[in-house]
Amino acid sequence: MSAVRTQWASPGCLHSPRLSTRSVKIAVCVKFPATIKTLLLKQSFALTRLLNPPLTLSMSFSSSSCMDGSYAEIVVVRHGETEWNADGRIQGHLDVELNEAGKQQAALVADRLSKEPKISAVYSSDLKRALVTAETIAAKCGGLEVITDPDLRERNLGELQGLVFREAAKLSPKAHKAFLSHRTDQDIPGGGESLGHLFQRCTSSLQRIGNKHKGMPDHLSKGERVVVVSHGGVIRSLYKRACPNGKSGGKVLNTSVNIFHLCDEEWTIKSWGDVSHLQQTGYLESGFGGDKTSG
C-alpha cells in the first residue's frame, strides 16, 4: 500500500492579479508495513484530508481604489449539513432544516469567525438551513442581527426538488436533462431557474452588499468585513463572477469559508474553500451538493 501526497495547483483565475499558490504537483510514494494497512484503511477519510488540504488562494490587490481601503471584505459561507444533504436529495428552494451535524458545523465556523477580525454585519438566504447557520454566526460575533435576502437562495430546481439525485434521471428525465445542460438560458421544468437567472440575482445581491460596506477612498475609512451565508449553487456563481476565465472552483463543502474583496465592480478572491475549522472533526465532507448537484 502506498500514499501519494500532492500539492494543490491553483485554479486559473485570470481575473485576479496574482496567486501565491504555485501550480506545482509533487508526488511522493511511501511504502507502509502490512501491519498498519488495516489501520490506514480505517483512517482513510482523515488521511485523505491530510494529504489534500483545502485550497487557499492568496491575492494581492493592484487596483488603486482597493489599495486605499475602499473595498468590502465579504466572507461567504455555505450553510451547514441537512438530512437531505446526507441522503443525496435535491433541495433547491425547499426549506430543509440543519441536522445535528449541520448544527455542529455552524457552531465550529461561528467560533472560528468570532476569533478573526471584527464582523460588521451578517446576511443570509431566507431558507432555514442558511438562516440558522447565519444566526449561529451572528450570535457568536457580537449578537448581530441577521439580514435576510431571498436573492441569496439556492437555485430553484423545479421538478427535481425533493428527488434523490441518483434517481432523478429516471423519475424526471426532461428536468434532469435541462439540469445537465450547459446553456445558461435553460430553465428547468416545474418552475426551475436557468443558470443565467441564478447568476444575475445572486451576484447583484452580493454587489449591493459590497457597495454598502466598502470604505471611502480617502485613506482613512477602511471597508467593513461582513458575512454572507448562502448555498452551493450560489457560491459557485459568485466564483464565476470573480473568476470568469478561471477553472471551476470545485465542490463547495458545508460551512466552507470563501472570502471575496469587492471594490466597486471589481471582484477578487482572497481565499477559497477553507474548511480548516472542521479539521479533526467528523463533520468535514459528509454533505451532498455544493457542486453541480446544488445544495
Q: Which residues does the annotation place in the binding site for substrate? A: 78-85, 129
Do 227 and 75 meet the contact criterion of CB atoms below 8 Å apart?
A: yes
- In sequence order, the 6+-apart residues with CB closer than 8 A to the CB of 175 are 157, 158, 159, 160, 168, 188, 189, 190, 192
Measure the CA–CA gap between 229 and 7, rounded to whole angstroms: 29
Which of 135, 154, 159, 193 does the annotation list as catalytic?
Answer: 154
The answer to whether 154 is a known catalytic residue is yes
Measure the CA–CA gap between 113 and 137, rounded to whole angstroms: 7
Measure the CA–CA gap between 62 and 73, rounded to whole angstroms: 16
Cα–Cα distances (Å) from 175 to 114, 171, 187, 242, 290, in that order, read 42, 9, 9, 29, 19
**Residue 86 φ then ψ, to 5°:** -65, -30
Measure the CA–CA gap between 114 and 138, rounded to whole angstroms: 9
Residue 171's identity, in one-letter code, is L
**Residue tagged 466597486 (cell numbers):** 264
Measure the CA–CA gap between 154 and 194, rounded to whole angstroms: 12
The answer to whether 231 is a known catalytic residue is no
Measure the CA–CA gap between 91 and 184, rounded to whole angstroms: 20
Do 156 and 189 meet the contact criterion of CB atoms below 8 Å apart?
A: no
Which of 79, 176, 213, 277 does the annotation list as catalytic?
Answer: 79
- In sequence order, the 6+-apart residues with CB closer than 8 A to the CB of 81 are 98, 99, 101, 102, 105, 254, 283, 286, 287
SS3 87: helix
Active site residue ranges = 79, 154
